[in-house]
Every structure is written in structure tokens, then in C-alpha cells.
Structure 1
Amino acid sequence: MSYDLILLPSGVATSIDEVDAYLAAQEGQPESATVADIAAEINARNAALPASDTFLATDSVGGAPSGTTLTVSSPYDALGFVRNLLFDLATPRDYAIYDPQLSWLIDPKDHIPVSVTHGGAGEFPYLTEELAHNWVAGLSDPNPYLIVERGDQRYIQTYRDQRGEYTLEYRDGSPQRHFGTVLADPDEVARIIWDWTTDPASVEKDVAWTGVEL
């Protein structure tokens, strides 16, 4: 079983329908120089590995008339590695990643580089306001949590319980500076997480926080 991720330029789409339309419009177009460069790097890294350790589900990627888009298929157990590699290659080139299995468009436009752990999908190297709202609202079993980290003991996290309520906590450098609250509105939770991502001090006035004993 393989897992597909698709690269496309940042800003060309803001919805899944627009992504699908853009991909369709690129079919048959000559491969762009940027896509060729990314594909060459992916192929070189894959070819440098023993056959038992390769991370592509195909012999190679690129070389197709797909314009400014690139589809990368990997075995499911290599997904985390491949996704991290694509972020490394795509983000500096102002490229977004589309995950058609989850219907997620991960676009670096206006992103902030932080460490994000999504309980259902793994780790990501940045957050945007749109992703914060999409991910918080979509948290579901078996791992309905989201963590955003800035460094050692500086993070904000939320967990969605079976009633649909969100336990929201943040830590500001030490166990003595660990606070929490419970909220019902996913948009409010996402807004607070995004506010913390842009300005950690701003969340202190957002809601009535209480100290958390761990």
C-alpha cells in the first residue's frame, strides 16, 4: 500500500476544489525547472540507499508532463521520512504539500516555524492560522491531541475528549509556569493556539487559566 503526497506552488489554491482544478490544469504541461530540481534530489537520495531501505513506491519521481506539480508515492511505513524530506525541499522553494488521503493542503504562506505534533498524523515543521483551525476542529480518536512547541518546556497543547471538549494547556519554561483551561469551541482553541504561536505572552489574557499540578 502506498501513500501519495503532491507538491504544488504556494498560493495557487486555498481549497481542495481549487487544488483539484489546479492539478487538472497542469496535466500535460512541461515539467517546471523547480519540480525537476526537487525530483532530482529525491531520486538521488533514494538511489543512495540499499534496495531494502528505499523510500519510494516507484522507481523514481518526476519526468512527467505535470507542469509545476509533483506526485511522490511512498510505502506507508516511510511516510514520516518522506514527508519530512518534502518539507525540507519544498518549503524553501515556496511550495505547498497536498495530502489527498486526508484532504489537507499544507501551505507555507504566512507560516511560523515551530514544532507541531498532530496525534493522528505525526510531526510538522510549521504552523499557519488555517492549519491551526483545520487541525483543532478535526481532532478525533484514537489520538485527538495537538502540541505546538517553541523550545524546551515552552509549548501549548490541546486534547479533545469524548464529549467534544478541549483541555488546553500551555507551559512557559517550567512546571511552575504550567496553566490550563477547558473550552468547548474549537475555533476559540485554535485562535488561542495561533495567538500563542505568534506571541506566547498574548495568551495570558485570553481566558481564565488555572495552574496545573503535574
Structure 2
Amino acid sequence: MSYDHMLLPSGVAATPAEVDAYFATQEGRAETSAVAALAAELNNRNTELPEADSFLSAPVGGVPYGAALHIASPYDAIGFVRNLVFELATPRNYAVYDPQLAWLIDPAGHIPVTVTHGGAGEFPYLTETLAHFWIRELADPNPYLIVEREPQVYIQTYRNSAQDFTLEYRDGTPDRHFTTQVTGADTVAELIWDWTRRNHDRLGRLSWEHLEM
């Protein structure tokens, strides 16, 4: 059994239903040069490794699927493959679709930061759309999201209940670590996106308390 990632051009879909519709339009179409280049790089990286360390379930590309690319990997290689897929896809303006989670991660308007999602791991950028989507969907057992600009410079949230969130930010040293309570997933998403964009206007109007570690 394999874990799938799908690549498609940025902007061609906004919802899982639109992703499926787009994939349907690509069936039978000649592989594009962009997809051929992505597939070649993935296959080359895979063949450079010993067979026991292979991260692809099968070679990718070489099929008439237009501007889309299907990547299947063993479950124990999910994290490695995800990181590699973003490394190769983002500079080429390609979005990543995870059909298991029904998540579309599109780089349009992205800011490079390290995002740690409590339920799904690490991602290399944030967009306003992803901030809202991910925070609305935070759920047990790990309902948190961390956005890190550099070591010890981050903002994070933890969902306490349907509407209640703890929001924290740290600006380097322990004496610059603050916490507050915020109501509403969309409000939290807007504040985190503001921080990511280095806009602290709304953040500065909140009542912050120093967090004793």
C-alpha cells in the first residue's frame, strides 16, 4: 500500500472537487515538459539510493497525464517524499495535493516559513488560504500549529475548544515569549497571517502576558 501525492499547476483548482475535475481533463494528454522534468529529477534522486532506501513505490512520469504528476511512495517515506516534492515543485509554481487528507497546498502568495501542523507534520510555507484552512481544521489529539521564521522566533496556537484558542509568540529569548487567549478560528488565522507578513498592528492591540517557562 502506498501514500500518494499529486502535483498540478498552481491556480488551476481551489477545492478537492476542482482538483478531481482538473485531473480528469489531463487524462490522455501528452506529458508536459514541466512534468517530465519533475519526474526525471524524482526518478534520478531515487535511483541514486540503495534499493532498500527507495522512496518511490514505482518510477514516476512517462504516462499521458498532461500537466499532472502522480507520486506513490511507501508509508515509511512519507516525510522524506513530502519535503522533496515541495523542494522541487514550489520553484516550478506547482501545487501539491494530498488525496488522503484532501488537502490542496498551493504556493500562490506564499511566504517561506516553517509550519508545523500537529496532525500532519512540517510544511515549508504558509499562505493566507492555508492559515484559515489549517486552523479551522485543528483537532485532537494534537490541535496546534506553529509558524517559525527562524529558531526561537515563532507564533503558535493551540485549540482549547471549538472557539477558544491560546495564541503565543516568541521573539528570540525567553523574556520575549508572550501568551494570550483568542476567540474564533478565523481571527486566529488572521493574526497568524499578520505575523507571517510582519504586520503587528492587530497583534499589538491584544492583551499579552509574559509566559513564564
Please classify the TM superposition score into its range, dividing by the shorter chain length.
over 0.9
Counterparts of 2:2 and 2:160, CA distance in 1: 31
Instruction: Report what 2:21 is aligned to.
Output: 21
Instruction: Report what 2:209 is aligned to.
Output: 210
Instruction: Report what 1:75 is aligned to.
Output: 74
Instruction: Report what 1:169 is aligned to.
Output: 168
Q: Structure 2: which 5+ residue stretches go unaligned?
A: none
Q: Tell me which amino acid in the other structure corresponds to 1:51.
A: E
Counterparts of 1:183 and 1:207, CA distance in 2: 9
Tell which deviates more after alignment, 78-87 or 11-20: 11-20
Contact 2:157 2:168 in 1 (8 A): yes
Q: Structure 1: which 5+ residue stretches go unaligned?
A: none
Normalised TM-score (structure 2): 0.96
1:203, CA displacement in angstroms? Answer: 4.8
Q: Tell me which amino acid in the other structure corresponds to 1:89.
A: L
Counterparts of 2:154 and 2:202, CA distance in 1: 12
Q: Tell me which amino acid in the other structure corresponds to 1:38.
A: L
Counterparts of 1:101 and 1:27, CA distance in 2: 20
Counterparts of 1:92 and 1:206, CA distance in 2: 36
Contact 1:57 1:75 in 2 (8 A): yes
1:186, CA displacement in angstroms? Answer: 0.3
Q: Tell me which amino acid in the other structure corresponds to 2:88.
A: L
1:83, CA displacement in angstroms? Answer: 0.6
Q: Tell me which amino acid in the other structure corresponds to 2:9.
A: P
Q: How does 1:13-92 map to 2 (within 5 A)?
A: 13-58=13-58, 60-92=59-91
Aligned-partner SS, 1:43? helix
Counterparts of 1:57 and 1:165, CA distance in 2: 42
Counterparts of 1:18 and 1:44, CA distance in 2: 31
Q: How does 1:149-188 map to 2 (within 5 A)?
A: 149-162=148-161, 164-188=163-187
The runs of 4+ residues in structure 1 deviating greater than 6 Å are none
1:202, CA displacement in angstroms? Answer: 3.4
Normalised TM-score (structure 1): 0.96
Question: Across the two proteins, how many residue pairs are aligned to each other?
Answer: 213
Q: Tell me which amino acid in the other structure corresponds to 1:25.
A: T
Tell which deviates more after alignment, 100-109 or 153-162: 153-162
Counterparts of 1:76 and 1:162, CA distance in 2: 31
Instruction: Report what 2:124 is aligned to.
Output: 125
1:200, CA displacement in angstroms? Answer: 5.2
CA deviations on 1:58-115 (whole Å, 9 max, x unpaired) are: 2x00011100000101111101100110111100000000011111110000000001
Counterparts of 1:195 and 1:206, CA distance in 2: 13
Aligned-partner SS, 2:142? coil
1:208, CA displacement in angstroms? Answer: 1.6
Counterparts of 1:144 and 1:204, CA distance in 2: 21
Q: Tell me which amino acid in the other structure corresponds to 1:191.
A: E
Contact 2:191 2:203 in 1 (8 A): no
Counterparts of 2:66 and 2:130, CA distance in 1: 26
